[in-house]
Homo-oligomer: A and B are copies of this chain.
Amino acid sequence: MEFNMNEAIDVLERTPKTLEHFLSGLSDGWVHCNEGESTWNAYEVIGHLIDGEKNNWIPRLEHILMEGESNPFPPFDRYAHLNDTAKVPIKDRLLEFKRLRSINVQKLMDLIESIDDLDRTGSHPAFGVVKVRELISTWVVHDLTHISQIVRVMAKRYGVDVGPWKEYLSILK
């Protein structure tokens, strides 16, 4: 086990700024490319991250701390952002993500009062008993997963253009 609260926050607070520097001002070709039908482009991934800030991580943490295992927390709709038809520029989505994350990191620090809170348990609708430390670890890994997804999707856009170098580029496989 490697989890450490300060280190988890280290990542959580860096993700929005990292994505902002990577994606703001990037041409549409990069922002709107995907891996084929029913896959997400970078714009959609940011929408999903915003949904997570609103409906997943902190609400679930609050639910666990209030209700324990007695009442499973509601499922999170991983596709909700696809219903958001308001096409705001990605720059604004990134600012919204940054704003919400900043509030949520502060809430996280306020909610976890002692190291013992990390072992408190709740009930996941599919998995059953889960711990607070597992939820927060997953929040971190979820960030990393979606950064990885964004760069993979972009890399594949040049899958043909790299010519024979494809052999050396495992991300294209």
**A22-B26 in contact given A1-B160, A144-B152, A144-B171 (Cβ < 8 Å):** no
- Contact between chains at A27 and B10 (CB < 8 Å): yes
Chain B hits for A71, CB < 8 A: none
**A130-B163 in contact given A11-B30, A30-B7, A158-B137 (Cβ < 8 Å):** yes
**A18–chain B nearest beta-carbon distance, Å:** 4
Interface size class of A (residues with CB under 8 A): 35 or more
Q: Is A162 among interface residues, defined by CB-CB distance under 8 A? A: yes
Chain B hits for A168, CB < 8 A: 138
- Contact between chains at A148 and B137 (CB < 8 Å): no
Q: Is A14 among interface residues, defined by CB-CB distance under 8 A? A: yes
* Complex-state Cα separation, A132 to B19, whole angstroms: 29
